[in-house]
């Protein structure tokens, strides 16, 4: 899926967080968005996901204006969006259940994804019985199970230790590349941004498009 | 666990004892216990009631009426509560009507129920329905309104439809509040059982209690109250148990 | 309602506690006469009949059910009857008709005003400015309004049972109510009689109403009902004590109280006849009723339909109670005849009462027997109102003792003695 | 905003119209409207009532009784609900007693209230208190149980005492649920106003309505019901408004 | 404050997360705890804070066994512990309010802390109106306002971009050093661990105490 954002203005109530933003993401590309805290990265993802309507400008996905959400556009939430009454397994099953995958099959597939994010044995734990990093991994598993064509990730590895993080990065990147999934990836980890991104955008600084080399200076100040 | 049950029994026993002491000694300090029946009088009468077939017939018919009215109220109340909380237009259309009907006393519905329904039983079930309906509706509405938006957002970005959001997020998320409403609704249904059974003219614990009062038979009235209290306790207990099972994921429920 | 097509459902609404209606309610139901007659009728016509009895605490729900078409035959007191007629008047032939009387008291003694036993009030005028509980729109209320005759009291409109609690709890100074309530409270020692409705000498009655559409569609059922009511009335006259005990068992009222009202020479006279004095009394009640509520003028003569009754029973204008105390006085050794003097004693453990020719004979009988007395009944020397000897107020008149139901009435005749004093003096 | 009000008014008007059509034409399809008073009859009677001083006296006394009973219930119900939810021992001691008393019909309390309290007014307030008390208690208990533990943990690591946790976390956190309970409680208090005012014998809209029923005056009954409905609507509206102000931080409240 | 943990076993329900842990933190020291996701870092902090009782062993703070919480031991939660009905300012005021600081004074002080974490102008925002990084900074401000003698931080900078993160690190370290506050600091950022810690402990690997140099190898695997 390709994304084209033209003159987007969006915000909450009367105050605009994003003003006249232009941005293009090509099919299969992985765009990294960085920027200072509160600059509107999460807001941008919410608009592309279709959760928040912009007040001006357009967001085109595959040339079609975004109107509401779709299972093709998955969002990994910054603060976990797990349903507290479902255990880890059933949270991962959720996107499969929504599109009517039979119970037995979705159970097998969800279990497979939980395994891959290193949570075998925690299938029956409720979200509140998991550590922060574990919850984040459940969310990743859920997103991968959804098999979307566009993934919007909001600091998906933020709560992971270095070792787990690189394992997750490897896993997620492999899946995304393999399926040719377009990705918008918000992070505050410069190293991650540079290592994973095809391209990096710094938000909040006049929406500059920068090459990998320039990003270090721009963010580190 | 054993200790908890001891405490509970002690509590009830202490309540009974206090009642016996206050009434038997005819205390009159601002509140006046001198005219009330003593616990022993009531216990004797209760024991006598337990030997009568009529008593069990009353229990059965009241339970059936409350049960049916409550079930209807649970289904309709939850559904309408969700609708009113989620849809602004439907809310604006439905709520003004409901809000005016809500505080109408069950007992004032007696003549209306008599005139409106073809049979007495329907009228009685209607009144218990109305009684249980509004607490369920209001609690559901409040619970749905208080839901965090993240869960819904999560489901929608997974491609969940409006209906799926309702079934997978709104209902389970609001469940703790809904069960609060069901519990209250069950209580209110029992509160109105006497009013409802005034229509009956024949059976039911509510009818029997009111009949006892019409011959100023206070022990009979208190036996009726205790019976209704126990029935209410048991039915509300069932609701709470179901509620606790359904909301086991809550941190507070694990605690207790 | 809800009958199968080959079955005729009859729903009878009654008030078990209003014992003046037992011949169309509690007693009739216990005796099963109506069902038996309908079975017999069914044998002839090939129809099945199913009777449902519904017991209500006041006349209002019966009227409501009749308006809704769900109660076919109902019984209630005079004011509720008038309300019933007035509310259904607009329905024309869909409305209701009064078809018989159950019981009445020609002087109005069915309604009384009672006060707490420790009350110092001697007459209604002593209640000035105090709270009196009554049920507005009931016979007890009518009596209170007539009897007060200008005395300013604060009327508390309460259900009878609520009023009884209020009297006990001290919320009100007096209670004006209809049958069974005054007798019941006095018998239980929770009240004493302040005013006897008989002093008004205005008749009060209870009666039976039927839904006109039902009467038109099933005249044969109505006829059987009236016949059954007649049967029950005759049974009551013939077996007063058994009837009282049966009613007491069904209602939870003490049998002594039921027998006070429904026994021979009792406060209630049971007779189906739609007597002219009773019609007149109803007509007199209409303006009073209209003054208390938003109630339409009622054409009493149209409301009363004596046709169905005429078809099964001749009727009479005689006001004498057909149930009399008879037999021979075991102590004085004279036949018991004069209803104005005759009394009865009910000893504990005995299954029959013993007659007494006069109050003096009764006192002697009690004294000689030395047994526990369940209840003793004497007629008020002025009004003839049957009352508990124990709760009567006695006056010595030469060598006689005269009982009075109220202390005020007794005081007019001389020094008032208690039952114990009278017993000692006898 | 204007559109919302239009919808609301339309809804009420449609309800009235439906009532008028059904009753005036005497529809009898399963439900039977033929004997119910028409909307016009009731409106006429209502208009007449509005010109009477007595009517305003009734309003005043009923409002005062409900107000006092409700206030007491709000304070005691919230406090006890928190206690029962937070302390296992007190919960085990208090709850069994409360649960048995909870379903006892208000009308069955009439004799008890009369015999127990020195004055009628106290008895009436007592009954409205009991009516409102239990929904508030139950909702508070449910809301407190459903609280996430993080907030409490946060306060405790700031050195918050038990009391401070109650005041700063439990009460505000449970507020949405408590207000649900208050709203229901207000409704139930009105539902019981007739039963309570049966004691009164003189004033109050509940008394007046029952009085109309005892003389089988249906327009009078419906006027009473409508009056109670409107009073209930207004008082519940006040509670809901306060609730919305107190829980403005909820995402759902911002929405509506 | 000094902390001495002896043979601590702790967990949830029947399963122990920490088993026989021994650990010492000297007065004024900054101990960094790292370890794989789900190894029990947050659990350890909860025990020291007094929120979770251990099932065996002892936790001594200044030689006294921990029994319940205390305002001297502040905890910065991994997922923010802000009260949703209080705006940013009133959340920061909270610890001051709890110990009875007069309203005017605590308002001034809370405002000062919000300023320092770069949230001037957001005083009246409710938590749900703040971005993830902003909420984390409100929590930091609140903890500093509390003036505890022992700070337990659970990935306190996890949601911050590099620039904001280093600003916050500087601020927090300056305050902690200045006041001589003892600190246990959980992070998954190796760079941070090495740069800030006086000492680093790797949890979940037999609780090894490691020098700065060894940590890189140990965590990066
Ligand atoms: N409330 C709970 N009930 C049951 N188990 C729990 C609970 N909280 C945590 N756990 C379990 O305890 C273990 C340790 O959790 P903890 O939160 O301490 O990990 P952590 O080291 O902080 O991990 P992370 O770096 O991912 O935050 C995990 O296996 C988790 O499943
Ligand atoms: N629900 C809301 N209501 C009002 N304002 C909001 C809301 N959500 C976010 N904001 C404001 O919008 C701005 C951008 O927030 P956003 O969450 O997009 O930031 P971000 O770039 O994701 O920051 P971070 O890196 O800290 O997560 C912030 O100033 C925040 O205060
Ligand atoms: Mg963000
Ligand atoms: Mg953790």
pLDDT digits (tens, 9 = 90+) for B181-238: 898 899 889 888 887 887 766 788 888 888 787 777 788 888 988 898 888 888 988 9
ipTM, 2 dp: 0.81
Which residues line the pocket of ligand 2, CB cutoff 6 A? A 12, 17, 35, 37-43, 78; E 125, 128-134, 159, 161
For A189, C10, C11, C99, E204, the CA distances from C92, given in Å and listed in that order, are 90, 21, 21, 16, 93
* pLDDT score for D256: 39
What is the domain count for chain B?
A: 2
The whole-angstrom distance between residue D23's C-alpha and the CA centroid of its chain comes to 29
Contact yes or no for B126/B117 (Cβ under 8 A)? yes
Q: Across all residues in chain E, what is the average pLDDT? A: 87
C41 has a chain D CB within 8 A of its CB: no
* pLDDT score for B254: 45
Same domain (yes/no): B19, B2? yes
Strand partners, C417: C394
* pLDDT score for C294: 67
Query: Where residue D206 falls among pLDDT bands split at 50, 70, 90?
Result: confident
Q: Across all residues in chain C, what is the average pLDDT? A: 89
pLDDT digits (tens, 9 = 90+) for A70-94: 989 999 988 878 999 999 999 999 9
Q: Which of B154, B156, B254 to mutate to test the interface with A (most CBs of A within 10 A)?
A: B154
Low-confidence residues of chain C, pLDDT below 50? 1-4
- Pairwise pLDDT comparison (E144 vs E216), residue with the higher score: E144
Domain that holds residue B9: 1-36
The whole-angstrom distance between residue C34's C-alpha and the CA centroid of its chain comes to 21
C368 has a chain B CB within 8 A of its CB: no
In chain C, what percentage of residues exceed pLDDT 70?
98
pLDDT digits (tens, 9 = 90+) for D41-99: 889 989 988 998 889 999 999 999 999 999 999 999 999 999 998 888 888 888 888 88
Look at residue A217 and tell me whether its pLDDT is greater than 70. Answer: no
Pocket probe mutation, ligand 1, options A123, A126, A130, max atoms within 8 Å of Cβ: A130
Q: Highest mean pLDDT: which of B5-14, D140-149, E47-56?
A: E47-56
Q: Considering CB atoms only, which of D118, D198, D214 is closest to C58?
A: D214
Flag the least confident range among C190-194, D5-9, D164-168: D5-9
pLDDT digits (tens, 9 = 90+) for C150-190: 888 988 888 888 888 888 888 889 999 988 889 999 998 88
* pLDDT score for B201: 61
- Nearest Cα neighbor of B247 from B131, B143, B134, B141 is B143
Strand partners, A174: none
* Contact exists between B and D (3 or more beta carbon pairs < 8 Å): yes
Same domain (yes/no): D91, D3? no
CATH of the domain at D107: 1.10.3720.10
Q: What number of H helices and E strands is found in chain E?
A: 7, 10
Same domain (yes/no): D147, D232? yes
Same domain (yes/no): B72, B134? yes
Same domain (yes/no): D214, D89? yes
Same domain (yes/no): D14, D129? no
Same domain (yes/no): B238, B136? yes
Contact yes or no for E10/E52 (Cβ under 8 A)? yes
pLDDT digits (tens, 9 = 90+) for E78-124: 887 899 999 999 999 999 999 899 999 999 999 999 999 999 999 99
Look at residue B144 and tell me whether its pLDDT is greater than 70. Answer: yes
Those residues whose C-beta lies under 8 Å from the C-beta of residue D123, and which sit 6 or more positions away, are: C171, D110, D113, D114, D116, D117, D196, D199
Average pLDDT over residues E32-53: 90
Look at residue D168 and tell me whether its pLDDT is greater than 70. Answer: yes
Contact yes or no for C297/C290 (Cβ under 8 A)? yes
Q: Considering CB atoms only, which of C64, C156, C162 is closest to D202?
A: C156
Q: Considering all CA atoms of chain D, what is the largest pairwise distance in Å, rounded to the nearest integer?
A: 70
Same domain (yes/no): D171, D216? yes
Whole-prediction pTM: 0.84
Same domain (yes/no): D21, D146? no
In three-state secondary structure terms, A27 is coil
- How big, in percent rounded to 5, are the helix, strand and coil portions of chain B? 80, 0, 15
| A171-179 contacts, C-beta under 8 A, 24 or more apart | A171/A116, A171/A117, A171/A140, A172/A140, A172/A144, A173/A30, A175/A144, A176/A30, A176/A151, A179/A147
Same domain (yes/no): D88, D60? yes
Domains in chain E (CATH in brackets) are 1-72+150-221 (3.40.50.300), 83-147 (no CATH)
Q: Quick check: CB of E43 below 6 Å from ligand 1?
A: yes
Same domain (yes/no): B8, B83? no
Those residues whose C-beta lies under 8 Å from the C-beta of residue C257, and which sit 6 or more positions away, are: C180, C183, C184, C187, C248
C 316-355 residues with CB < 8 A to B: none
Same domain (yes/no): B89, B180? yes
- Pairwise pLDDT comparison (C247 vs D251), residue with the higher score: C247
Between CA C373 and CA C350 the distance in angstroms is 10
Pick the atom of ligand 1 nearest to A125's CA: 31
The chain E residue lying nearest A220, using CA atoms, is E163
Contact yes or no for D29/B116 (Cβ under 8 A)? no
Q: Which of C165, C167, C190 to mutate to test the interface with D (most CBs of D within 10 A)?
A: C165
């Amino acid at each position: 899926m390709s994304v084209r954002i033209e003159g987007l203005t969006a915000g909450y109530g009367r105050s605009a967080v994003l003003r006249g933003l232009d941005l293009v993401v090509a099919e299969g590309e992985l765009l990294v968005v960085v920027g200072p805290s509160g600059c509107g990265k999460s807001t941008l993802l919410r608009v592309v996901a279709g959760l928040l309507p912009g007040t001006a400008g357009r967001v085109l996905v595959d040339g079609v204006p975004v109107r509401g959400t779709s299972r093709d556009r998955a969002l990994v939430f910054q603060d976990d969006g797990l349903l507290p009454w479902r255990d880890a397994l059933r949270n991962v099953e959720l996107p499969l259940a929504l599109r009517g995958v039979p119970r037995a099959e979705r159970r097998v597939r969800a279990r497979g994804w939980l395994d891959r994010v290193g949570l075998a044995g925690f299938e029956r734990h409720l979200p509140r019985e998991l550590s922060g990093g574990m919850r984040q991994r459940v969310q990743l598993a859920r997103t991968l199970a959804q098999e979307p064509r566009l993934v919007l990730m909001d600091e998906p590895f933020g709560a992971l230790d270095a070792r787990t993080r690189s394992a997750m990065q490897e896993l997620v990147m492999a899946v995304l590349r393999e399926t040719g999934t377009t990705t918008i990836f918000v992070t505050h980890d410069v190293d991650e941004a540079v290592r994973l991104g095809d391209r990096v955008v710094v938000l909040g600084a006049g929406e500059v498009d920068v090459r990998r080399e320039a990003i270090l200076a721009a963010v580190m100040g | 666990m054993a200790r908890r049950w001891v405490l509970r029994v002690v509590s009830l026993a202490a309540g009974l004892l206090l009642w016996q002491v206050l009434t038997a000694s005819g205390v009159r300090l601002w509140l006046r216990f001198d005219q009330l029946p003593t616990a022993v009088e009531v216990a004797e009468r209760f024991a006598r009631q337990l030997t009568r077939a009529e008593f069990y017939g009353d229990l059965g018919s009241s339970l059936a009426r409350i049960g049916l009215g409550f079930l209807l109220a649970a289904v309709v109340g939850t559904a309408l509560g969700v609708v009113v909380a989620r849809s602004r237009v439907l809310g604006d259309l439905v709520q003004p009507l409901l809000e005016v009907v809500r505080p109408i006393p069950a007992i004032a519905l007696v003549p209306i129920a008599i005139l409106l329904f073809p049979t007495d039983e329907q009228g009685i079930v209607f009144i218990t329905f109305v009684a249980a309906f509004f607490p369920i509706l209001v609690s559901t509405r409040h619970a749905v309104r208080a839901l965090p938006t993240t869960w819904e957002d999560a489901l929608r970005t997974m491609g969940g439809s409006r209906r799926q959001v309702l079934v997978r997020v709104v209902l389970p998320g609001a469940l703790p509040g809904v069960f609060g409403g069901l519990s209250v609704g069950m209580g209110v249904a029992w509160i109105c059982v006497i009013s409802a059974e005034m229509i009956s003219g024949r059976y039911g614990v509510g009818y029997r209690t009111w009949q006892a009062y019409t011959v100023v038979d206070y022990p009979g009235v208190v036996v009726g109250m205790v019976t209704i209290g126990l029935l209410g306790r048991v039915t509300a207990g069932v609701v709470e148990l179901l509620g606790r099972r359904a909301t086991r994921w809550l941190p507070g429920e694990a605690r207790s | 309602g809800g009958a199968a097509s080959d079955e005729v459902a009859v729903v009878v609404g009654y008030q078990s506690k209003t014992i003046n209606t037992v011949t169309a309610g509690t007693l009739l139901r216990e005796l099963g006469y109506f069902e038996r007659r309908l079975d017999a009728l069914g044998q002839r016509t090939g129809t099945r009949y199913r009777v449902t009895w519904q017991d209500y605490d006041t006349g209002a729900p019966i009227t409501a059910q009749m308006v809704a078409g769900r109660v076919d035959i109902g019984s209630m007191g005079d004011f509720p009857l008038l309300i019933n007629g007035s509310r259904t008047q607009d329905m024309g032939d869909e409305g209701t008709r009064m078809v018989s009387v159950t019981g009445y008291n020609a002087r109005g003694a069915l309604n009384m005003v009672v006060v707490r036993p420790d009350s110092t009030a001697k007459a209604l005028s002593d209640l000035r400015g105090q709270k009196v509980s009554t049920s507005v729109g009931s016979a007890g209320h009518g009596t209170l309004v007539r009897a007060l005759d200008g005395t300013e009291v604060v009327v508390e409109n309460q259900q009878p049972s609520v009023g009884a609690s209020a009297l006990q709890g001290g919320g009100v100074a007096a209670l004006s109510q209809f049958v069974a309530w005054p007798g019941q409270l006095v018998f239980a020692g929770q009240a004493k009689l302040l005013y006897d409705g008989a002093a008004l000498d205005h008749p009060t009655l209870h009666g039976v109403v039927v839904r006109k559409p039902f009467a038109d569609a099933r005249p044969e059922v109505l006829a059987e009902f009236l016949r059954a009511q007649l049967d029950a009335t005759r049974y009551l006259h013939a077996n007063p004590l058994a009837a009282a005990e049966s009613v007491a068992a069904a209602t939870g009222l003490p049998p002594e109280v039921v027998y006070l009202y429904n026994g021979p020479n009792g406060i209630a006279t049971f007779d189906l006849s739609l007597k002219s004095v009773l019609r007149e009394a109803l007509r007199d009640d209409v303006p009073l009723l209209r003054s208390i509520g938003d109630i339409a003028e009622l054409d009493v003569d149209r409301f009363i339909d004596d046709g169905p009754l005429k078809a099964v029973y001749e009727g009479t204008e005689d006001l004498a109670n057909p149930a009399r105390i008879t037999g021979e006085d075991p102590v004085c050794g004279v036949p018991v005849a004069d209803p104005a003097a005759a009394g009865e004693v009910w000893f504990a453990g005995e299954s029959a009462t013993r007659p007494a020719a006069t109050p003096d004979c009764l006192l002697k009988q009690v004294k000689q027997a030395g047994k526990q007395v369940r209840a003793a009944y004497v007629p008020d020397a002025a009004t003839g109102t049957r009352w508990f000897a124990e709760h009567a107020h006695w006056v010595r008149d030469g060598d006689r003792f005269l009982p009075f139901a109220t202390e005020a009435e007794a005081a007019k005749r001389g020094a008032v003695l208690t039952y114990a004093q009278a017993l000692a003096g006898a």
